[in-house]
Chain A
């Protein structure tokens, strides 16, 4: 039974109004494409930390981190620690991000062109956009299911209801996407940064208050006892968990480092920073947030395990956390939580739409752009691209039912992109012997392993189960690096 009331509705309405007003207020500062995509490269450290944190925490993140807590206990938060270490080391040393920002490029593929040629730039752009858009395609539905569960409406309606009532999830998320698309189209990165800032504050207050309440009312000791009773030592230590072990740790180490180095939404904050030093300070300042990003929803997932138990009727590992929240939070706090989660989702959606727009405009359609195009024409095209991505998300991610397993889907789409792009970036910045053939081979091999794993799952499930998702992921990273080395050494350096 949810405690969502009119006070909560008022809080949510106020938040939405403030976001739209902030998004529109900065539209007059957008004069050039660089202003639209990178806020004129005038972003400073604290705004950068707020924007990066808000972008990288969406409802989908909250759902998966909570599911990990529900299934694996505290061990499910280990990827957050690995990601924080990667962020801190990369920010502290400037590994890859310093040369990237100093190159003055708008996107990763633009940097690759300088070293590997126009063909690699376009191929990288296509891989990044494909991986990114397919990955993002499920955000809306996941967000909608969370919101419907916590307000007590359920993901699907019972029979006999009107069309609008039976499609309230789709209608709610369509309206939300429309709001996000409007302010992103109008103000680009400037609107994204200002709304990200507001959304960071609302989201953080919601996350912190709910977690303080959880620890005050339930207590850490009770949560730890539940983990010990239900999951044993494997709930505290991933190496003691038979489903995790060393392959899980190695895969996540590669995965998190690849994300920190090449995930375009993260890099866009480095490129929008006013200089390389600011970009590095944003990474260092945001590093520990990634522990919170996994552990706070992880605690909510453990609380769901504590309150509902494992295998409760009608409750899946994914729906356990929102089901628990619906009954746990009192009136008022429920509104704060919904506003916080809307903030988390809107900031992620707006940043992602703008990011993939920047790669499509800058790298994929670059050959068809005429040299004499005015800034006005460039801005119009960027705005149309944001709108087109919004339409794609609406139909692919919300109105079109996804047929495959969600975990596999997200893992595969991310690995296709991260394995090859991180290899190309490291080679581009630090290996003089790297050649276009090596880069092309890394793109092909980096994509081949995860796709082959997905195909094996369909045609030979016993073989894919023997390999496991972690080994196929590790092979993608190692294979892409080897392909770069072999491909480069078999071609004469320029």
Chain B
């Protein structure tokens, strides 16, 4: 496998693994962020 092909192979798999992880992580933590944001807005109003 040439260096250029290896580079794109690595980047493609890095994208898939990183994006899959980010989706789960942000889906989990984002709900907490929304709750905190709405609580803060309710408290201010």
Q: Name the one of B13, B33, B41 contacting A44, with C-beta atoms under 8 angstroms.
A: B33
Which residues does chain A contribute within 8 Å of B23, judged by CB atoms? Answer: 200-201, 204-205, 208
The answer to whether A70 has its CB under 8 Å from any CB of chain B is: no
Q: Name the one of A26, A50, A208, A224 contacting B8, with C-beta atoms under 8 angstroms.
A: A224
Contact at B26–A291, with CB atoms within 8 Å?
A: no
User: Digit string of B22-45 for contact with A (CB within 8 Å is 1, else 0)?
Assistant: 110111011111101110111011
Q: A46-B26, A204-B19 are in contact. Are A291 and B11 (CB under 8 A)?
A: yes
The answer to whether A35 has its CB under 8 Å from any CB of chain B is: yes
Which residues does chain A contribute within 8 Å of B9, judged by CB atoms? Answer: 220, 224
Q: Name the one of A43, A215, A233, A296 contacting B33, with C-beta atoms under 8 angstroms.
A: A43
- Number of interchain pairs (Cβ within 8 Å): 103
Q: How far is the CB of B8 from chain A (nearest CB, A)?
A: 4
A201's closest neighbor in chain B, by CB? B27
Contact at A197–B37, with CB atoms within 8 Å?
A: no
Which residues does chain B contribute within 8 Å of A417, judged by CB atoms? Answer: none
Contact at A288–B40, with CB atoms within 8 Å?
A: no
For window 199-221 of A, CB contacts with B under 8 Å fall at 200-201, 204-205, 207-208, 211-212, 215, 220
* C-alpha gap A39/B33 in the complex (Å): 12
Contact at A26–B15, with CB atoms within 8 Å?
A: no
Q: How many residues of A contact B (CB 8 A)?
A: 44
The answer to whether A324 has its CB under 8 Å from any CB of chain B is: no
Contact at B34–A197, with CB atoms within 8 Å?
A: yes
Chain B interface, DSSP helix/strand/loop, else mixed: helix
Which residues does chain B contribute within 8 Å of A194, judged by CB atoms? Answer: 34
Q: How many residues of B contact A (CB 8 A)?
A: 34
* C-alpha gap A295/B32 in the complex (Å): 30
Contact at B12–A29, with CB atoms within 8 Å?
A: no
Contact at B29–A29, with CB atoms within 8 Å?
A: no
* C-alpha gap A295/B2 in the complex (Å): 19
* C-alpha gap A201/B36 in the complex (Å): 19
Which residues does chain B contribute within 8 Å of A29, judged by CB atoms? Answer: 38, 41-42, 45
Which residues does chain A contribute within 8 Å of B34, judged by CB atoms? Answer: 47, 193-194, 197
Q: A29-B45, A50-B30, A289-B19 are in contact. Are A224 and B5 (CB under 8 A)?
A: yes
Contact at A295–B4, with CB atoms within 8 Å?
A: no
Which residues does chain B contribute within 8 Å of A44, judged by CB atoms? Answer: 33, 36-37
Which residues does chain B contribute within 8 Å of A233, judged by CB atoms? Answer: 4
Q: How far is the CB of B39 from chain A (nearest CB, A)?
A: 9
Contact at A299–B30, with CB atoms within 8 Å?
A: no
Q: How far is the CB of B19 from chain A (nearest CB, A)?
A: 5
Contact at B19–A299, with CB atoms within 8 Å?
A: no
User: Digit string of A443-483 for contact with B (CB within 8 Å is 1, else 0)?
Assistant: 00000000000000000000000000000000000000000
Contact at B37–A211, with CB atoms within 8 Å?
A: no
B7's closest neighbor in chain A, by CB? A236
Q: How far is the CB of B44 from chain A (nearest CB, A)?
A: 7
Contact at A288–B37, with CB atoms within 8 Å?
A: no
Q: How far is the CB of A69 from chain B (nearest CB, A)?
A: 11
**Which positions in B face A, CB cutoff 8 Å?**
2, 4-5, 7-9, 11-16, 18-20, 22-23, 25-27, 29-34, 36-38, 40-42, 44-45
Q: When A and B form their complex, which 6 residue pairs have the shortest distance between CB atoms, in order from nearest? A: A236-B4, A47-B33, A46-B29, A204-B23, A44-B33, A74-B8
